[in-house]
A = this chain, B = another copy of it.
Amino acid sequence: MIVMKTDATEEDIQRVIAEVEGSGLRAVVIRGEYMSVIGPVGDERRLDFDKVATLPGVKEAARVEAPYKLIGKEYARFLGEPGAHKRVSIGKIHIGNGEPVIIAGPCAVESKQQIVRMAEEVKKAGAHILRGGIFKPRSSVHSFQGVGAGSAQDAEEALSWLKEAGDAFDLPIVTEVRGEAMVDMVAKYVDIMHIGARNMYDQDLLVQVAQKGKPVLLKRHFGASVEELLSFSEYIAAEGNKDIILCERGIVPVGKGKSYTRYTLDLAAIPVVHRETYLPIIVDPSHATGRRDLIFDMSCASISAGADGLMIESHYNPAEALVDGPQMVTPDELKDIIDACKTLYRTKKELGRTSRA
């Protein structure tokens, strides 16, 4: 929609119409008693709204359509392909439109011994996929950056530990790709490529990861709206890779004083994403809250809101973990959480309502 200023002249209006038509769209003009509005009809992607906004007499120029199409339900309905709900499959594990899938493991891979032991523990607790960070994005350069941060050789060794641990217990593996330099190497080892919240806006990384053709786990940036999360996941889809798993992990808290959690978990993003797209969405209560004592409740809430899965950090000895100890649950707690989530999922399902529109 292009809204003209109250004092726009007829010449201003004609100039806008010319621009719209010059882009191959039709221009419908609504002449109000107070101001005029021009509606471009056709493929909005062909019109440069930014340019239109600079024309004389224009008050506002904004798209009506969503900035994402390939992943959107509305576009699929328009194409006559409403289809079944999308699920992302990793071997025999399916994320989306079914039982919640649990990704678990330590925040950071610390040693071969540690990750193998954790693989065993999370398997026993009922998790489906193993996680473990090799390159840790940290706020301070003076903090531990992950065992893979030293050299490509260190990184490859750590990746091989993670893979060995996954293989030993029949668990697909996922790890974060922090920079473009590591895309190829990580793709060789993992089953799901994880793009962290801080990198959500990094289009080059998104494109390169997408091109590997493996499922991509994309976390929402802590300052991003849901619309931005969807817009940036479109960068992956545009490479022909629609195996995208979104992840809500909390946004920056508001207000003065303490929020008592690291971030604010936005669980309404779950049904919103289900209504807007076919993509599955999981929740990471560990990073969102930063507090072990809140993981159980927030996991239950996530599943009841319709989450397709959870990503939970666990360590056999949280107090010895090199990174993020305060937010890691023990394997026993993990089992409790997984059991509760399965029960709540089934209870809600029996109520005859799914979170999908």
Q: Which residues of A contact B (CB under 8 A)?
A: 1, 3, 5-7, 28, 30-35, 37, 39, 41-43, 45, 48, 50-51, 53-55, 64-65, 67-69, 74-75, 77-78, 135, 137-142, 145, 178-181, 198-199, 201-205, 221-228, 231-232, 234-235, 238, 251-262, 264-268, 270-272, 275-276, 288-289, 292-294, 296-298, 300-306, 318-326, 336, 339-340, 343-344, 347-348, 351, 353, 355, 357
Choose from B180, B267, B323 the contact partner of A50 (Cβ within 8 Å).
B323
Give Cα A207–Cα B31 distance, bound, in whole angstroms: 35
A1 to chain B, nearest CB (A): 6
Choose from B50, B67, B140, B302 the contact partner of A301 (Cβ within 8 Å).
B302
Closest to A224 in B: B255
A278 to chain B, nearest CB (A): 15
B319 engages A336 (CB within 8 Å): no
- Give every chain B residue within 8 A of A292 (Cβ-Cβ): 54
Q: 24 A–B contact pairs at CB < 8 A?
A: A6-B74, A30-B30, A33-B43, A39-B39, A48-B322, A51-B321, A54-B325, A137-B201, A137-B203, A139-B256, A141-B234, A181-B204, A199-B201, A225-B255, A225-B259, A251-B264, A252-B254, A265-B266, A267-B298, A268-B298, A271-B298, A300-B348, A301-B301, A301-B305
